Amino acid sequence: MTIKNLTPDAEALIGLAKRSQVRLVRVLYCDNANLIRTKAVWIDDLPARLQAGIGFPLAQQALTAFDIPAQVEGLGPVGEFRLVPDPATFVVLPYVGETACLFGQMYTLEGVPWAACPRAFLRRMCARLAAHNLAAQVGSEHEFVLARPAEAAFPYQPADDTPLFSAAALDAHAGFLCAWLPALCRQEMTPRLVQSEYGPGQMEVSLAPTDAMQAADNVCLLRETTRAVAAQHGLIASFAPKPYVERFAGNGLHLHLSLWDREAGEGTRSNRFYDTREPALLSDLARHVLGGWLAHLPALVALTCASVNSYERLQPGHWSSAYRCWGLDNREAAIRVPSISWGQEAESLRLEVRCADHSANPYLALGALLAAGLDGIERGLEPGEPLTVDPGAMSEQERHQLGIERLPTRLSEALDALEQDAVLTAALGPRLSTAYLAVKRQEVAFCQERTPQDIAALYFEKY
């Protein structure tokens, strides 16, 4: 794939932008710290940028969440990459006037995909899946807290303290919800359920499944939209994994994945995870994906739970998957097989990854899940029997007998596991894996002498 002249799609996009009275287009990318960076293009310059891209220093892919550059060979002040907008990702932003956005992919100055680009990594993994005649569908659940500034030791206070699943929270934030949900829909995201969650000020929204690349884009768009609309209503929206360390609940990003026939005709594609001949309805393919995930889970969490703050959430008894195991509707398992929906049995069967949060770059997290799942498929890995109890309620000896291990308890442990995982580092490639590990180890060092509450405050408005 190389950069080419303007396509008919790009020409149509420029016409659409002008008809929509867009004057400014933000070209977005998600970096290794999972911060969404951008440069904005004036509409008259968009045709040139669609063809030639926008220049960024190579060092951008070495930045931590705290804007401190990690030391990575080749990612310093010398050299540039080009961020080339993808016309298929164009959306008008409903929460800011005369503005749209596009996601970009990173290219070298020679016009080929840059090896340090997270979006290119997910694209490669989707192509590997396609070689098996498979395509991923990904749904997602997003938890976040609504807060206000506080004049206290901790600078944020919950915007409400209503009960779990209460209508009172929906009433308290009716103005925000009535602006936020239509804003999601106008960007072609499809909300399914909205509810107050376990913690004070905590909300959750689930999005309908879509293809893997669109799902990753949606993670970014949802967070940007939520934070912007909340600010317009005098609120701070935080997707940080454990915004209040002393409280029970954390914020998860639950990823629901299924694999479907890729080349079947419209309306005839089937969910390859669904098999009525099996007691749990899980096909051999689904079991192999499960086996791959479980085999690589200690390394995967370095990419799905990607902040120092994440490991305050991954605790036993917190419904956030502290152990490497799977189960049917077991919310303490790292991987859950949710109950199927009545009347939509085949369509609704999927695997849920619970050990993920919004500090994860979604392109890296989903790409790594596909890589681990493909390893399970290609090696025929089996996940063992589902766990039917809370693993935290078992004795150490019982867990040992069943091969149930504690997930990494610190980001540094997860990074060690990732560095030693030959399958995942090979999938990422040496440039991306080296940069990612360096960025995350720099974040660990930055937080080393800080208390958990100080770290929570640092991350509160990053995600």
Phi-psi region of 454 (alpha: psi -120 to 50; beta: other; left: phi over 0): alpha
Give the model's pLDDT for residue 90: 94
Give the model's pLDDT for residue 135: 96
Give yes or no: residues 134 and 97 share one domain.
no
Parallel, antiparallel, or unpaired for β 236-238 and 91-92? Answer: unpaired
Distance CA 96, CA 238 (A): 20
pLDDT digits (tens, 9 = 90+) for 210-231: 999 999 999 999 999 999 999 9
pLDDT digits (tens, 9 = 90+) for 257-285: 999 998 765 566 799 999 999 888 999 99
Residue with tokens 């308890």: 409
Give the model's pLDDT for residue 249: 82
pLDDT digits (tens, 9 = 90+) for 158-205: 999 898 899 999 999 999 999 999 999 999 999 999 999 988 899 999
Give yes or no: residues 436 and 345 share one domain.
yes
| Assigned domain for 13 exists | no
Average pLDDT over residues 79-84: 96
The residue from 81, 97, 116 where one domain ends is 116
pLDDT at residue 5 greater than cutoff 90 = no
pLDDT at residue 10 greater than cutoff 80 = no
How many angstroms separate the Cα of 165 from the Cα of each of 194, 197, 254, 339, 434? Answer: 9, 6, 18, 20, 43
pLDDT at residue 129 greater than cutoff 60 = yes
Tokens of residue 119, six digits: 């979006």
| Assigned domain for 7 exists | no
Helix ranges (DSSP H) in 253-361: 284-304, 310-313, 345-348
Distance CA 354, CA 325 (A): 11
pLDDT digits (tens, 9 = 90+) for 360-408: 999 999 999 999 999 999 999 999 999 999 999 999 999 999 999 999 9
Distance CA 138, CA 129 (A): 14
Give the model's pLDDT for residue 174: 95
Give yes or no: residues 101 and 242 share one domain.
no
Give the model's pLDDT for residue 72: 95
In which band, very low, low, confident or very high, does the pLDDT at 4 lie, cut at 50, 70 and 90? very low
Task: Residue 313: give its domain's CATH number.
Answer: 3.30.590.10
In which band, very low, low, confident or very high, does the pLDDT at 8 lie, cut at 50, 70 and 90? low
Tokens of residue 429, six digits: 């490639």
Give yes or no: residues 35 and 178 share one domain.
no
Average pLDDT over residues 82-93: 95
Give the model's pLDDT for residue 199: 80
Distance CA 205, CA 217 (A): 16
pLDDT digits (tens, 9 = 90+) for 304-358: 999 999 999 999 988 888 999 999 999 999 999 999 999 888 999 999 999 999 9
Give yes or no: residues 132 and 272 share one domain.
yes
Nearest to 40 by CA among 20, 54, 19: 54
Domain count, the chain: 2
Task: Residue 58: give its domain's CATH number.
Answer: 3.10.20.70
Tokens of residue 89, six digits: 């990702």
Give yes or no: residues 438 and 319 share one domain.
yes
Average pLDDT over residues 142-158: 93
The amino acid that residue 241 corresponds to is: P
Nearest to 36 by CA among 360, 259, 385, 282: 360
| Assigned domain for 219 exists | yes
Give yes or no: residues 66 and 200 share one domain.
no
User: In the chain, pLDDT over 70 holds for what percent of residues?
Assistant: 97
pTM: 0.95
Give yes or no: residues 221 and 303 share one domain.
yes
| Assigned domain for 10 exists | no
| Assigned domain for 16 exists | no
Distance CA 379, CA 179 (A): 48
- The residue range of the domain holding 369 is 126-460
The residue from 116, 148, 180 where one domain ends is 116
Give burial (CB, 10 Å; 0-12/13-18/19+) of 16: middle
Q: Which residues of 204-214 are buried (b: 16+ CB within 10 A; e: fewer)?
A: bbbbebbebbb
Average pLDDT, rounded, for the chain: 94
User: In the chain, pLDDT over 90 holds for what percent of residues?
Assistant: 88
Distance CA 294, CA 334 (A): 9
Give yes or no: residues 91 and 161 share one domain.
no
Distance CA 402, CA 253 (A): 27
Give the model's pLDDT for residue 267: 61
Average pLDDT over residues 21-41: 96
Average pLDDT over residues 226-249: 94
Give the model's pLDDT for residue 266: 58
Nearest to 422 by CA among 380, 355, 371: 371
| Assigned domain for 46 exists | yes
How many angstroms separate the Cα of 69 from the Cα of each of 57, 72, 109, 307, 444? Answer: 12, 9, 22, 16, 13
| Assigned domain for 86 exists | yes
The residue from 91, 116, 141 where one domain ends is 116
Give yes or no: residues 310 and 283 share one domain.
yes
| Assigned domain for 193 exists | yes
Give yes or no: residues 310 and 365 share one domain.
yes
How many angstroms separate the Cα of 175 from the Cα of each of 165, 172, 179, 202? Answer: 18, 8, 6, 16
Give yes or no: residues 293 and 240 share one domain.
yes
